[in-house]
Amino acid sequence: MNDHEIFELEDVVLQEGATLRHARLAYKTFGTLNEDKSNAIVYPTWYSGRHWENEWLIGEGMALDPNEYFIIIPNMLGNGVSSSPSNTPPPYDNARFPHVTLYDNVGVQHRLVTEHFGIEKLALVTGWSMGAQQTYQWAVSYPDMVERMLPFCGSSKTSRHNFVFLEGVKAALTADDAFKNGWYDEQPIKGLRSMARVYAGWGFSQAFYWDEVYKEKLGFSSLEDFLVGFWEGFFLDGRDANNLLAMLWTWQNGDVGKTPGFDGDHVRALGAIKAKAIVMPAEKDLYFPPEDEEYAVGHMTNAEAELRVIPGVWGHFAGGGLNPEDTEFIDNGLKELLDS
């Protein structure tokens, strides 16, 4: 997929101390920036997602309408399109790729938006999962720049339980000897498939499996067909073990309180948000449960923020664009927010 642009970041000094040299931010845009540069939307990617896997939320007649808005999808660092373990030359290559935070990601996105496009205000930042985490980070890092935000199925701080879920994912991937501590020549296939099986129980809700929604709505012929065809296929689709682990670190360490100036105070960071917000967890999301987002909204005391739960059985993948009803729910929220 070469349908994207590259913003040359040159040297990026990361929050954890390393310098990522000749770093590159890959992005794709939709629509046209208007004259007063007031119609820009940033829509970051999610864990392992690439820009083309975000496009389902963009389209004519939808909230993210390219006829009306200039939509930028920046690829998260580590996702294999922007600078990542798999595409960075030595010495910061592969298992030596440095730790990257959400703050770092949003920092380089901010450079793209301001230096390259000369944009001073964003009409909206939105995203799914780690894209939602980047949305929160945008609103905390640049409170005067983000006018609206709609994080869906994410959080402002990775909860301990979410951290533990990711520990299981990581352990399953790295249990494979073929992983070789990250110095493999071939992908650790057994580890990637194990990771997929671990992920499968978390990505969708208990009720999703009880109702066999993977058959009726997604067209898989059996439970095992879903585990192999959807889940194993997902992690084998051009995804790289070190990239997955780099993004996993970013996720596990997600916390807007780590933004410079807040001294680790997550609640104070939430209080700095000024963007008008609709916060959308999914009812049965097993690792970003609605109560965590209710907590966050309760601390966005400086913003007009509403909690609006996506109903239904799709769990975390309510935000994945697979279910038209959930997509419509999110799209309606985006329309309402953009019109306000």
Q: Quick one: 7 or 287, whose CB is closer to a copy of itself?
A: 287
Q: How far is the CB of 267 from a copy of itself (least distance, A)?
A: 14
Q: Quote the crossing angle between the two packed helices 241-252 and 160-174, to the nearest 10°.
A: 160
Binding mask 207-246 for a copy of itself (x = CB under 8 A): xxxx-x----------x---x-------------------
Told to judge if 331 belongs to the known catalytic residues of this protein, a careful annotator would answer: no
Angle at 16 between CA 11 and CA 293, to 5 degrees: 115
Q: How far is the CB of 177 from a copy of itself (least distance, A)?
A: 4
- Give the SS3 label for residue 277: strand
Say whether residue 167 binds a copy of itself (CB under 8 A): yes
Partnered with residue 148 across adjacent β-strands are 276
Residues 6+ apart with CB under 8 A from 287: 159, 161, 162, 165, 202, 316
Residues 6+ apart with CB under 8 A from 317: 203, 204, 323
What is the size of the binding site for a copy of itself (CB under 8 A)? 42
Residues 6+ apart with CB under 8 A from 275: 125, 139, 143, 146, 147, 148, 149, 303
Say whether residue 280 binds a copy of itself (CB under 8 A): no
Told to judge if 285 belongs to the known catalytic residues of this protein, a careful annotator would answer: yes
Say whether residue 292 binds a copy of itself (CB under 8 A): yes
Say whether residue 174 binds a copy of itself (CB under 8 A): yes
Partnered with residue 157 across adjacent β-strands are 255
User: Which of the ranges 58-66, 199-207, 243-251, 275-283 carries the binding residues for a copy of itself, by CB under 8 A?
Assistant: 199-207
Question: Tokens at residue 219, please?
Answer: 């067209």
Q: Which residue is catalytic, options 240, 255, 285, 326?
A: 285
- Enzyme catalytic residues: 129, 285, 316
- Chain residues that interact with a copy of itself, rule: CB under 8 A: 159-165, 167-168, 170-172, 174-178, 190-191, 193-195, 197-202, 205-210, 212, 223, 227, 286-287, 289, 291-292
